[in-house]
C-alpha cells in the first residue's frame, strides 16, 4: 500500500465469519467499533501488524492500513471507502433507512 | 415457466452439500482463502465492503411467485430486509454471513434456485427479453432456447475455466430488449422463409474498460446448428484467448486482434469438428418448449378498465408509461418500477417482494420477470385487473409511473457496497431523480435513459445511457464523467465522453443545463433526447454541460 507520511493509521479488515468490517484493537483483538481501534503513528509497527494480520486469515480477510483523522470522538477514516465501511452505505431511501 | 427436472434438483442438492462442506473446511482452517476463493466464486459468493454478497441466478429473468416469496424469506431471515435486482436479471443479497450461506443455498435449492455460475470465469446467467413469450413483436419465444443454453452451459466441463467470464443474451423481438450487441455472444432470432427461424450470432460485444459493439459472426444459423456453433465459438476463445492479463481476456479482445474474418475461419474449423455434437438438441428444444406452461387467455369485460382510464389521470399515466402491448389485446405486460423517486434503483424490500408475489398469483398467473433495467415485470395481466393492480402497487410504493423516464435510472451498487467502485452511484441516482421531480420536468422531457456506474467495469452500462455517468476518483475525491448519446438497442451506440468530470455537487446543475438545452433544441416532444443527440451531434450538448453558449442554440 501507499505510505502516507505522518498521518495516523488504523488497521482494518473483514471478519471471516460475518464478512463485517473490523478494526484492530490495542489488545490485538478485532472489534466491530472503530472507536476501539488502536491508532498507529509508527509506520514500522503498522507494517508489522499488517503482516501479522495477513497471516491471520483464519480470522480476518483483506487487512489493510488506512489513514485516519483524529477528532473529538476518536479516529475517523480519511478515505471515503473506509469511511463508508465504518458508517455503512450512505444511500438514503426508505428501504435502507428502515434497517 | 419452465418447471425444472429431477436432474436439476439433484444437481442443486449435491452442489449445496459440496459447498456446505467447503465452508466448513474454510472455517476450520483446512482450506486457505486462496483455495476457498474460486470455490465460493463458483457459487456466486463475493466479499464486498461490509459483508459477503451472494448473487442468485434468475435464469433468463423468469421467476415464479413461490420463488420470489422465498427470496423475501431469505432477505428477512439472513439479510437486512431487502434485495437488489441487477442489470443481468439476477438478485443480490448484500449482508450475508459466510456461516449462513449454506442455509441460504439450501433454501434456494428448495425452490429450484441457486447461485451457480453467477460469478467466476464461466458462462454466466443467460439473459433474454423480459417480455419474452408475450411480446407482440416477437417472432418466437426465446425462453426455450435460453433454457437449452442454460442446461448446456451449467457445469459444462470444457467451460469451467475460461479466460474470463462469458455472457450470452437472446432476443426475438423486433425491438432488441436484451442488449445483444453488447454481449460476448448475442443472438437475434427472426422468422425465416417458410416459418423456419434464423439466428444472427453476434460476437465480441461488451462494455467495461473496452466498450465494443459486437460483430455479426453468422447471420443465417438454423436453430439446430446453434448449440455446436456456440460451442465452437467458445472453444476458439478458450484456446486462443489471453490469460495473462484479465483486462485483455474477454472474447472481444480476441475478435479484435484476429479480425472478424480470421476469427470466423477459426470458428468454422471448430464447427466442422463439432457439428455432430448434441445431435438431439432439436428434440430437446422441442420438449423444453412443450414444458413451458403457456398463459391461459380468458375473455372478460373491459368496462372497469376503460372507465378507470377515462376518469383517473394517474392511472392513465401509469398505463401509458408502464404497460406494454401483450400479444393478446385484452392483456398487458406491466413494468413495476423499482425506481420510486429517492429510493435505491433495483432494491425491493421484503414487504414489496411479498406483495409482488401475491399480486403475481392474483393477476399474472404466478409469473414475474426481472428486467435489465432493474424493474420487475408482470407478464400476463388482463386489462380488467389493471385498476386493482395499480391500487395495490401504490400501497407498497411500487406504483411510480416512470418506466423509461428520467428517474428510471440504472445504477450499480457503487462505493456504498462494492469493493471495486471508485465513487458512489446510488446517492447520485437518488439526487437526480428527486431533483428533476421537484422541477416537474420529467414528463416534459419524456423517454430518457440515465445509467450510472461507480467504476470503469460498467455494471450499470453507462456507455449505453442516453446520458451515461461514470464515477471516478480524482485526488482522493469522487467525481463523475458524463457520456452522451449511448444506445443499447438496434441503433447500438457507445456514448461519447464529454471532457472534464464534475464533482457530485456540480453534477445536478450540469445535467439541468444539458436538459434545458435539449428542450430548447428538440424537434417537438416526439424527438427523444437520444434522437436529438444523434441528429445534432453531441457538441451542442457538451457546451451546455459546461455552461457555455452554443452556435447551434
The ipTM assigned to this model is 0.91
Q: Residue ranges of chain B with pLDDT lower than 50? A: 552-553
Using the Cβ of B400 and the Cβ atoms of chain A, whether some distance falls under 8 Å is answered with no
pLDDT range class, residue A30, cuts 50, 70, 90? very high
Q: Give the pLDDT confidence score for residue A91 in this predicted structure.
A: 66
* CA B122 – CA B163 distance, rounded (Å): 9
Of the listed ranges A70-79, A88-97, B92-101, B317-326, the one predicted with least confidence: A88-97
Q: Give the pLDDT confidence score for residue B315 in this predicted structure.
A: 98
Using the Cβ of A96 and the Cβ atoms of chain B, whether some distance falls under 8 Å is answered with yes
Nearest to B179 by CA among B427, B406, B518, B451: B451
Of the listed ranges A11-15, A31-35, B4-8, B299-303, the one predicted with least confidence: B4-8
The C-alpha cell that represents B25 in the structure block:
473446511
Q: Which runs of consecutive H residues, i.e. helices, occur in B303-457? A: 303-311, 313-322, 350-363, 386-395, 426-439, 442-445
* CA B173 – CA B193 distance, rounded (Å): 17
Contacts of A94 (CB under 8 A, 6+ apart): B343, B349, B397
The C-alpha cell that represents B526 in the structure block:
416526439
Q: Give the pLDDT confidence score for residue B281 in this predicted structure.
A: 79
Q: Give the pLDDT confidence score for residue B490 in this predicted structure.
A: 80
Test mutation, A12, A93, A94, A99, chain B, max B CBs within 10 A: A93
Q: Give pLDDT tens digits for B342-396.
A: 999 999 999 999 999 999 999 999 999 999 999 999 999 999 999 999 999 999 9
* CA B198 – CA B202 distance, rounded (Å): 13
* CA B118 – CA B21 distance, rounded (Å): 20
Q: In which residue are the cell numbers 429450484 written?
A: B112
Q: Give the pLDDT confidence score for residue B532 in this predicted structure.
A: 97
Q: Give the pLDDT confidence score for residue B551 in this predicted structure.
A: 52
Q: Give the pLDDT confidence score for residue B553 in this predicted structure.
A: 42
Walk across the sheet containing A30-31 and list its strands. A30-31, A21-24, A9-15, A60-71, A74-77
Judged against a pLDDT cut of 50, whether residue A98 lies above it is answered with no
Of A57, A81, A94, which has the smallest distance from its Cβ to B32's Cβ?
A57
* CA A12 – CA A21 distance, rounded (Å): 7
Kindly write down the DSSP assignment for every residue of B37-80, as one continuous string: HHHHHTTTEEE-SSSEEEEE--GGGEEEHHHHHHHHHHHHHTSS
B32 interaction partners in chain A (CB closer than 8 Å): 57
Distance (Å) from the alpha carbon of B346 to chain A's nearest alpha carbon = 11
Q: Do B82 and A20 touch (CB under 8 A)?
A: no
Residues 485-544 of B with CB under 8 A from A: none
Alpha-carbon torsion, ordered B17, B22, B23, B24, to 10 deg: 90
A95 interaction partners in chain B (CB closer than 8 Å): 81-82, 343-344, 347-349
Which CA distances in Å does B389 have to A58, B305, B382? Answer: 51, 11, 10
Q: Give the pLDDT confidence score for residue A5 in this predicted structure.
A: 65
Q: In which residue are the cell numbers 484492530 written?
A: A24
* CA B220 – CA B207 distance, rounded (Å): 26
B452 phi and psi angles, rounded to 5 deg: -120, 115
pTM: 0.95
Chain A residue nearest residue B343, CA to CA: A93
Amino acid at each position: 500500500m501507499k505510505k502516507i507520511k505522518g498521518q495516523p493509521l488504523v488497521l482494518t479488515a473483514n471478519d471471516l465469519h460475518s464478512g463485517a468490517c473490523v478494526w484492530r484493537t490495542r489488545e490485538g483483538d478485532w472489534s466491530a467499533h472503530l472507536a476501539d481501534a488502536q491508532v498507529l503513528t509508527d509506520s514500522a509497527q503498522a507494517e508489522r501488524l499488517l503482516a501479522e494480520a495477513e497471516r491471520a486469515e483464519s480470522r480476518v480477510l483483506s487487512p489493510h492500513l488506512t489513514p485516519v483523522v483524529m477528532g473529538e470522538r476518536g479516529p475517523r477514516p480519511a478515505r471515503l471507502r473506509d469511511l463508508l465501511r465504518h458508517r455503512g452505505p450512505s444511500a438514503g431511501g426508505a428501504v435502507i433507512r428502515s434497517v | 415457466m419452465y418447471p425444472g427436472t429431477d436432474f436439476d434438483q439433484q444437481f442443486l442438492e449435491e452442489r449445496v452439500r459440496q459447498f456446505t462442506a467447503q465452508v466448513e473446511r474454510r472455517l476450520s482452517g483446512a482450506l486457505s482463502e486462496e483455495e476457498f476463493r474460486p470455490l465460493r466464486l463458483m457459487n456466486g459468493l463475493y466479499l464486498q465492503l461490509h459483508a459477503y454478497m451472494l448473487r442468485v441466478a434468475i435464469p433468463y429473468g423468469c421467476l415464479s411467485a413461490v420463488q420470489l416469496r422465498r427470496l423475501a424469506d431469505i432477505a428477512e431471515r439472513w439479510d437486512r430486509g431487502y434485495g437488489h435486482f441487477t442489470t443481468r436479471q439476477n438478485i443480490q443479497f448484500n449482508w450475508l454471513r459466510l456461516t449462513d450461506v449454506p442455509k441460504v443455498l439450501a433454501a434456494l435449492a428448495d425452490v429450484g434456485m441457486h447461485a451457480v455460475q453467477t460469478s467466476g470465469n464461466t458462462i454466466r446467467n443467460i439473459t433474454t427479453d423480459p417480455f419474452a413469450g408475450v411480446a407482440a413483436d416477437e417472432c418466437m419465444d426465446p425462453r426455450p432456447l435460453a433454457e437449452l443454453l442454460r442446461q448446456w452451459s451449467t457445469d459444462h466441463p470444457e467451460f469451467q475455466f475460461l479466460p474470463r467470464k462469458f455472457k450470452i443474451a437472446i432476443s426475438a423481438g423486433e425491438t432488441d430488449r436484451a442488449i445483444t450487441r453488447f454481449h460476448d455472444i448475442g443472438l437475434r432470432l427472426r422468422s425465416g422463409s417458410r416459418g423456419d427461424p434464423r439466428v444472427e450470432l453476434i460476437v465480441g460485444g461488451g462494455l467495461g474498460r473496452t466498450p465494443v459493439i459486437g460483430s455479426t459472426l453468422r447471420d443465417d444459423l438454423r436453430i439446430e446448428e446453434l448449440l455446436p456453433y456456440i460451442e465452437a465459438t467458445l472453444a476458439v476463445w478458450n484456446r486462443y484467448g489471453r490469460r495473462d492479463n484479465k483486462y485483455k481476456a474477454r472474447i472481444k479482445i480476441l475478435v479484435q486482434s484476429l479480425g472478424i474474418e480470421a476469427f470466423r475461419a477459426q470458428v468454422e474449423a471448430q464447427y466442422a469438428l463439432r457439428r455432430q455434437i448434441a445431435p438431439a438438441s432439436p428434440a430437446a428444444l422441442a420438449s423444453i418448449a412443450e414444458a413451458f406452461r403457456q398463459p391461459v387467455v380468458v375473455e372478460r369485460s373491459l368496462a372497469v378498465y376503460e372507465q378507470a382510464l377515462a376518469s383517473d389521470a394517474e392511472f392513465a399515466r401509469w398505463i401509458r408509461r408502464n404497460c406494454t402491448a401483450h400479444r393478446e389485446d385484452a392483456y398487458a405486460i406491466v413494468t413495476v418500477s423499482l425506481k420510486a423517486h429517492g429510493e435505491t434503483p433495483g432494491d425491493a424490500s421484503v414487504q414489496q417482494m411479498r406483495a409482488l408475489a401475491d399480486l403475481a398469483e392474483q393477476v399474472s398467473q404466478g409469473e414475474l420477470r426481472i428486467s435489465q433495467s432493474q424493474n420487475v415485470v408482470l407478464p400476463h395481466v388482463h386489462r380488467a385487473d389493471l385498476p386493482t393492480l395499480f391500487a395495490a402497487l401504490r400501497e407498497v410504493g411500487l406504483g411510480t409511473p416512470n418506466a423509461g423516464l428520467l428517474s428510471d435510472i440504472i445504477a450499480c451498487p457503487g462505493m456504498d457496497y462494492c469493493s471495486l467502485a471508485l465513487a458512489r452511484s446510488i446517492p447520485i441516482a437518488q439526487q437526480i431523480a428527486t431533483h428533476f421531480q421537484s422541477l416537474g420536468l420529467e414528463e416534459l422531457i419524456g423517454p430518457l435513459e440515465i445509467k450510472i456506474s461507480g467504476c470503469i467495469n460498467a455494471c450499470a452500462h453507462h456507455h449505453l445511457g442516453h446520458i451515461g455517468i461514470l464515477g471516478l476518483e480524482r485526488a482522493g475525491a469522487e467525481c463523475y464523467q458524463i457520456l452522451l448519446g449511448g444506445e443499447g438497442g438496434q441503433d447500438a451506440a457507445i456514448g461519447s465522453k464529454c471532457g472534464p468530470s464534475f464533482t457530485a455537487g456540480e453534477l445536478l446543475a450540469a445535467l439541468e443545463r444539458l436538459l434545458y438545452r435539449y428542450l430548447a433544441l428538440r424537434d417537438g416532444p416526439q424527438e427523444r433526447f437520444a434522437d436529438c443527440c444523434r441528429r445534432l451531434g453531441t457538441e451542442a450538448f457538451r457546451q451546455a454541460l459546461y455552461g457555455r453558449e452554443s452556435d447551434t442554440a
